[in-house]
Amino acid sequence: MRQALDSHIQQAVAQKQFGGSVLVAKEGEIMLRCGYGMANIELEVPNTPEMKFRIGSITKPFTATAIMQYAAGTR
């Protein structure tokens, strides 16, 4: 599963559709923990799993929606 996830994300990075950090866990076991692409292109700083992003309040509605969708699907 780790290889399949990593391969899928690598394809998105190659097509410049994704760059960031990814953590995938299942039942408490970490399946994938990697950084992809560049955090800063000008300074050539790669993303790492420990990278901190300035994302602000824009993500709150997305997070709330994801939680609500997950909760609705688990009933």
How would you classify residue 26: left for phi > 0, otherwise alpha for psi between -120 and 50, otherwise beta? beta
Question: Is residue 57 annotated as part of the catalytic site, yes or no?
Answer: yes
Picking from 44, 24, 22, 26, the residue whose alpha carbon sits closest to that of residue 34 is 22
60 is known as an active-site residue: yes
Which one from 7, 16, 52, 57 is the annotated catalytic residue?
A: 57
Q: Which residues are catalytic?
A: 57, 60
